[in-house]
Amino acid sequence: MTSGGTAEADARVTHGTLDGTPERFVVVSGDADWVDRLAAAADAPVDGVAAERAGELGPAREGYPAAVIVDGEAATDPMVPFVEARESYPDAACLLAGGAARVDARAVPEADPRPVVLEYLPVRDPESVAAAAETAVERRTHRGYPVPDREDDRVATARALAGEGLDADAGDAFDGLAAAAARAVDADAATVSVLGDYRLWHVGVAGERFEELEEPLAPSVDRARTVSTYTVLEDGVHDVPDLASDPRFEADSRALELGLRAYLGAPLRVDGHAVGTLSTFRREPASFGDGADATLRSIAAVGADLLAAASAAAGDLDDLDGLDPAAAVTDLPGDGSTDED
């Protein structure tokens, strides 16, 4: 069962993911007519999923859904798609329309500390459900983390960068910047990333830890699983001596999965918006120290210039050949060393 909405609805979509694909609503229901009516009312494309395929929600979808809507009266077990959505799309809004009495709390393992954040709607009126989903996406009421002020403008600026061809294949300039940052603060790994509405995209990486991975480092990761989500909120640097002991990251962090424990990062600002981050990591927990703070701030300023230059170059990163990140960070304050290193 698939419903694509109307051409008029597709044209009204104003949001989108960083890679340019439009936001979509995924609707789980056994009532095809109800899904069609919701699709007609929604201001985003709607992708219907048959109730019996709710457990395949993640693998069956293409792109990143803005919202997962479950028809509580027509789904076999209303909680199953939400558990799947938490695993595959942790930044998507989750809405349950009716059927609260049918929710099986056992669907969420007690040992799993990550809750499913969902909005319950006591009515199944398709127009009301579509409006509630659009409001949740617009206001980001479902996010399990704070978002910066003027987030729409920040995401629009990040998306504009991506639209200019700034992605994981951006070139050697950002890898060089990451390598220079890692050397400057004595880190085991570093990344240069752009943060979209739902995902963080790596445009530069450095460090033996990444080279040791059996699987290549994914070009993007769910925003909810990144330290950068909090780094863009900072005016200066973001220092986390031990990710494993920080309640924001201990339950679900990509860095911890990679065996990285200490973090020091700084936002990268373009046109006044923190569109991304320069992040450095160490395998052992410890504070990087004040000297590293000043060093990373200076390197982040170089990174912001690189991002701005890449945007101005309209995706032609050959224009960045004259910018040598290693040379640019040679005479920075401090060497990043501390008594704790």
pLDDT at 111 over 50: no
CA atoms of 297 and 126, how far apart (whole Å)? 49
**Are residues 38 and 69 in contact, defined by beta-carbon separation less than 8 angstroms?**
yes
Environment class of residue 36 by beta-carbon count within 10 Å: exposed (0-12), middle (13-18) or buried (19+)? middle
- What count of residues does the chain have? 341
- Return the pLDDT at 187: 96
- Whether residue 94 contacts residue 68, with contact meaning beta carbons closer than 8 Å, is answered with yes
> What pTM did the predictor assign?
0.74
Report how far apart, in Å, the C-alpha atoms of 104 and of each of 76, 82, 108, 109, 287 are: 11, 11, 8, 11, 43
Beta strand ranges found along 6-144 (DSSP E): 24-29, 46-50, 65-71, 93-97, 119-121
pLDDT at 5: 34
Side-chain-facing half-sphere of 35: CA atoms under 13 Å: 26
Quick one: pLDDT at residue 162? 64
Q: What tens digit of pLDDT does each residue of 213-257 get? A: 877 788 788 898 999 999 999 999 999 999 999 999 987 899 999
Return the closest-CA partner of residue 41 out of 27, 29, 28: 27
Q: Mean pLDDT in the chain? A: 79
b/e sequence 58-88, b meaning 16+ C-beta within 10 Å: eeebebbbbbbbbbbebbebbbbbbbbbbeb
Amino acid letter, residue 252: D
In tens, the pLDDT along 33-48 reads 999 999 999 988 898 8
Please report the pLDDT score of residue 265 as a whole number.
97
Question: Per residue in 121-149, pLDDT tens?
Answer: 998 999 999 999 999 888 888 788 888 88
Residue 55 DSSP one-character state: G
Strand partners, 282: 262
Q: Quick one: pLDDT band at residue 319, thresholds 50, 70, 90?
A: very low
